[in-house]
Chains A and B, each alone.
Chain A
Amino acid sequence: MEIKGSVAVITGGGNGIGEAVAKYFVRNGAKVAIVDMAQKNIDRVVKEIKDMGGEVVGVQANVTSEADTAKYYKAAIDAFGKINIVVSCAGIIRDGTMLSLDKETGKVTRKMGLDKWQPVIDTNLTGTFLTIRDGAEAMVNGGWQGLLVAISSVNKVGQVGQLNYSSAKVADALLPKIVVGEFLMRGIRNIRCIGIAPGYTATLMLTGMNQDALKAILADVHLGRLVDPDEIARLIGHAVENEAINATTLEITGGLCYPNGIAK
């Protein structure tokens, strides 16, 4: 499948990886629909893509809502007439351990509440499910060739302090296998599904953090730096054009290792 002439829908397209993916697609001749919660992010990215000479529509939407999901797909089809690429980048973190103990008594003083669990599951798992499900529906009903991309994370291996995030991301990593298996059973041959599992990436979330903590993170990265969002965009672009990549989740981490040197 060629990027040029394709139409891409990108959730979380207002910053970070989603923004980089959108601009990469535009540079390579695709039309894009930017979906984001924040209108000011949409406005900035739409203006920058306009200045690049691209074709873009921006939709403020919540990916956990079925109504909003239907809304942004309808908008993309109204604007461009089809959908070929879906990248589910919208994601959040609410880190914390499951239990906190009192240092003196060893008793539990605090538990991870649903206020930290549920929004992460809703956005990172249910939101991805709705985006992939309705993207597939549009492609099947429209008869359009397509690629569905779920964004997982290297922390799908299980990161202490991210029980919520890792649980969602390991499910996101598994999703392409089940979806493609279903496509095969249903005779849907022209739509692929993959996952992308980035390592520590140079998005605002990380570049704005404590620099000493960032140095500690980078000590475990073989590449010696954060992964650039554009490098992730290029991997997704390659996956669009290489049709043998299917039903799998690709890691792009720069060689992130555990402290004892075993690659994560």
Chain B
Amino acid sequence: MKSFTYNDMDFSVESANGRWDISCKKPDGKSAYVGAGLFEGVPESEIESRVRTLVKSIFPVGIKVVGPDVAHPNRIGDLKIVGPDVTHPNFIYWDKDSSSFPKQAG
């Protein structure tokens, strides 16, 4: 079994019959499946990088799922104030410092 920590989550990677199962423990302590029966035929030396790539796709660092209420009808006169487009693929919201990517001094 291999394990690693990414984005404050602990991931476990287990081999079964030449295929790989991935699970994780989230910051709230709950366990979750990422996938099962994966990467058959992939050389073992490549497994860790394949797993890390997959995990980063499913749990992108720093993207907050719940953003501001962009539909809230804040108005100043005729001007409607709306928040940023939090659903835009390039929108990144740093909710908190991650232990994987700590804030750089200075």
Contacts and interface: CB of A to CB of B under 8 A. Distances in A.
Contacts of B53: 78
Contact of A47 (B19, B36, B88): B36
B40 to A, nearest CB: 7
Interface stretch (B4-12, B55-63, B74-82, B96-104): B55-63
A70 B25 CA distance: 24
A67 B89 CA distance: 4
Interface residues of B, number: 25
Contact of B33 (A47, A65, A74): A47
B21 A75 contact: no
A121 to B, nearest CB: 13
Contacts of A193: none
Nearest to B22: A57
A83 interface: no
Contacts of A42: 32-33
A89 to B, nearest CB: 19
A65 B19 CA distance: 32
A243 to B, nearest CB: 28
A46 B36 contact: yes
Chain A interface size band reads 20 to 34
Contacts of B89: 66-67, 70
A53 B36 CA distance: 9
A67 to B, nearest CB: 5
A62 B40 contact: no
A72 B54 CA distance: 10
Given A46-B33, A56-B36, A75-B58, 17 more contacts: A43-B33, A46-B35, A49-B36, A50-B33, A50-B37, A55-B37, A57-B38, A58-B34, A59-B58, A60-B32, A66-B89, A67-B88, A67-B91, A71-B58, A75-B57, A78-B53, A78-B54
Given A67-B63, A75-B54, A75-B58, A58 B37 contact: no
A123 B54 CA distance: 26
A55 B88 contact: no
Nearest to B40: A55
Most buried by A among B37, B50, B88: B37
A79 interface: yes
Contacts of B39: 79
Contact of A55 (B30, B36, B63): B36
